[in-house]
Structure 1
Amino acid sequence: MDYYDAKAESKLFGERFRELRRLKGLTQEDVANRTGLAVSTISRLERGAFTIGVNKLPLLADALDVPVRNLYKELGY
């Protein structure tokens, strides 16, 4: 049976999000302004210390101007 590691998954998602944000030349503050989320939330998301709700994924993707699937592209989904 495969073991699902939510903490590892959150960390991978955060790393991918940070990578995309930096590739777009955006700061955490830029993303916060585009999404209405707090800078601290973006920071925690990128560190894997916060799991964003599925309903917020389009908001994050729009902030980076990428399709939602690109947020998970390198996670194997």
Structure 2
Amino acid sequence: MMSMAIIAAAVAVFTGIGAGIGIGFATGKASEAIARQPEASGKINSALLLGCALAEGTAIFGFITALLIIFVG
């Protein structure tokens, strides 16, 4: 039974991989956009930070879910 919990926790932690890929992709595109239009860097940075915060929130939810599966389940 414990091995199923470990597998479920491992699957829940995979949200961190998706968040890392998404943040890296968004940061690259934001850097390209700032290079093309430096005068719009303020708007680009605020949109980038909002997107990164949402992606990190998803990763944190996955981590919390994994901890709950391991220690409570």
Instruction: Report the TM-score, using the length of structure 1 for normalisation.
Output: 0.37
The structure number with the bigger radius of gyration is: 2
Q: Which has the higher helix share?
A: 2
